[in-house]
């Protein structure tokens, strides 16, 4: 099968991450103040570079072991195995599956929220839309690998770019109507919750090796990652900075709930709902592939694949109906596993793989300045991730911010 080009790969990477991030970032700037804009650039640059490093890790595996020159279903876990042994393979598998499961749940909740807003007059509650979308997405999950559904990635990125442009215009239009704005002083808790949101917005590394595995020339993955992160920064910065400037503390966790209702907002909701619909299929695929490998499901289309992936959808629906507040899930995985997958594992695995030597392997070295840089990235990721995870768990179990499950409050209004 012909693999994906650099441009198609870049579209997959950007299409996977853009969307949910642009909706949540304006509120993250409220929690950090204007330093949040600097944090967005900081996280983008470092997450992008870690993505480049992760791509180089896979190239090293292909150079050293023949079995990795073919497509495999658990590429990130394989990097962990070769870098640090079986325990790390299990740890990486857990992080990948926890992350992508959580991201897929966030995407399902967000798209359901937007469709519920669009179809408000239909009288169908948000919690029912979660089930309806799940039923529509389930058979589409049965598709095999990213190379089998590349038009989905094109749709995901195109809809996001259009929506971001319209959202930026809508925010600027609201500038004349907003009065008595408040720009609160960030607290330690709000800062690290916002930091978790920013990390989430650039946390696509969990599926990077799976996407790279479908490339025609996998050595060019770093080029695709660089293009994708430049696109993300261009999309994120205008919306995040103007959203905070125009709405101040009034900005909601989903900025669309802050903008003035009208035709532009409706159009944005349509495009972003489509984006999240498409992106859901991209992020859930690596977890499905790894579960299929564990359960010895054939690589070809079969009833076993359909059954396993349908069971995955049922599990996602249960979590979505149990915690119908996407911001809580977003902050938890943004501060925990996404931090590990994006900022800690790539530089750590790269240094470990470069340290390994065999006579017939190409020589790999890590200069001292690069080691220092890697150490700084991992330290910031670990410290920020631990504090952000603690803050997110506090927020989830805080009685004052409790959101009843959909099977208790079927209206699901607290989203």
In three-state secondary structure terms, 309 is helix
Long-range (24+ apart) CB contacts under 8 A made by 80-89 are 80/345, 80/349, 82/353, 83/57, 83/348, 83/349, 83/352, 83/353, 84/348, 84/349, 84/352
The whole-model pTM stands at 0.79
Q: Write down the pLDDT at residue 182.
A: 76
Query: Measured between alpha carbons, how far is 253 from 245 in angstroms, rounded to an integer?
Result: 15
The helix/strand/coil state of 4 is: strand
* All domains of the chain in start order, with CATH: 6-401 (1.20.1740.10)
The alpha carbon of residue 359 and the mean position of all alpha carbons in its chain are separated, in whole angstroms, by 39
Helix residue ranges per DSSP H, 295-325: 303-322
Give the whole-angstrom CA distance, residue 412 versus residue 126: 6
Name 4's bridge partners: 215
What's the length of the chain? Answer: 415
Residue 235: exposed, middle, or buried by beta-carbon count in 10 A (0-12, 13-18, 19+)? buried
Question: In whole angstroms, what is the distance from residue 33 CA to residue 187 CA?
Answer: 10
DSSP one-letter code for 341? I
Vertex 164 angle, CA 158 and 166, to 5°: 105
What stretches of 323-415 show up as alpha helix (H) in DSSP?
Answer: 326-335, 337-339, 345-355, 368-396
pLDDT at 414: 44
Cα(339)–Cα(323) distance, rounded to whole angstroms?
22
Q: Is 186 left (phi over 0), alpha (psi -120 to 50) or beta?
A: beta
Q: What is the mean pLDDT of each run of 10 residues along the chain (415 residues)?
A: 80 78 82 88 91 92 87 86 92 86 83 79 77 88 69 79 88 70 78 78 81 87 92 89 84 80 85 81 80 80 87 89 69 76 92 91 89 91 79 70 68 48
pLDDT of the residue at 402: 60
What's the pLDDT score for residue 2? Answer: 63
- Residue 1, pLDDT score: 46
pLDDT at 186: 78
Summarize pLDDT for 338-356 with one digit per residue, the tens: 888 888 999 999 999 999 9
Q: Which secondary structure element, helix H or strand E, spans residue 158, and what is its range?
A: helix 150-174
| Residue 409, token pair as written in the block | 């409050």
Q: For residue 215, what are the β-bridge partners?
A: 4
* Residue 376 DSSP class: H
Residue 18 is classified by DSSP as T
pLDDT value for 177: 56
């Amino acid at each position: 099968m012909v693999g994906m080009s650099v441009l198609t790969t870049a579209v997959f990477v950007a299409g996977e991450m853009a969307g949910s991030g642009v909706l949540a970032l304006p509120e993250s700037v409220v929690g950090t103040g204007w330093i949040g804009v600097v944090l967005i650039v900081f996280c983008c640059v470092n997450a992008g570079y870690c993505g480049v490093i992760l791509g180089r890790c896979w190239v090293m595996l292909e150079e050293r072991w023949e079995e990795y020159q073919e497509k495999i279903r658990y590429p990130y876990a394989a990097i962990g195995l070769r870098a640090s042994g079986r325990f790390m393979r299990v740890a990486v598998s857990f992080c990948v599956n926890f992350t992508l499961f959580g991201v897929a749940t966030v995407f399902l909740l967000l798209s359901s929220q937007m469709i519920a807003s669009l179809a408000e007059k239909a009288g169908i509650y948000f919690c029912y839309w979660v089930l309806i979308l799940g039923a529509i997405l389930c058979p589409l999950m049965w598709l095999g690998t990213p190379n089998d559904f590349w038009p989905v990635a094109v749709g995901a990125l195109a809809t996001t770019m259009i929506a971001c442009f319209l959202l930026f215009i809508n925010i600027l239009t609201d500038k004349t109507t907003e009065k008595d704005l408040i720009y609160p002083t960030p607290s330690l808790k709000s800062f690290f919750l916002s930091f978790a949101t920013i990390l989430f917005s650039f946390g696509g590394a969990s599926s990077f090796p799976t996407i790279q595995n479908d490339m025609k020339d996998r050595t060019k993955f770093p080029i695709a990652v660089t293009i994708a992160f430049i696109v993300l920064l261009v999309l994120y910065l205008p919306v995040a900075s103007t959203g905070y400037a125009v709405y101040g503390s009034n900005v909601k966790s989903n900025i669309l709930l802050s903008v003035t209702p009208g035709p532009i907002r409706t159009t944005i909701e349509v495009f972003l709902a489509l984006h999240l619909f498409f992106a859901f299929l991209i992020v859930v695929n690596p977890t499905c592939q790894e579960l299929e490998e564990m359960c010895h499901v054939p690589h070809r289309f079969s009833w076993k694949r359909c059954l396993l992936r349908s069971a995955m959808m049922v599990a996602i629906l249960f979590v979505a109906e149990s915690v119908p507040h996407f911001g809580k899930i977003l902050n938890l995985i943004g501060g925990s596993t996404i931090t590990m997958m994006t900022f800690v594992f790539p530089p750590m695995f790269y240094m470990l793989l470069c340290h390994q030597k065999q006579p017939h392997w190409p020589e790999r070295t890590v200069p001292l300045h690069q080691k220092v840089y890697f150490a700084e990235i991992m330290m910031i990721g670990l410290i920020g991730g631990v504090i952000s995870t603690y803050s997110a768990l506090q927020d989830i179990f805080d009685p004052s911010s409790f959101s009843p499950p959909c099977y208790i409050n079927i209206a699901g209004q607290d989203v």
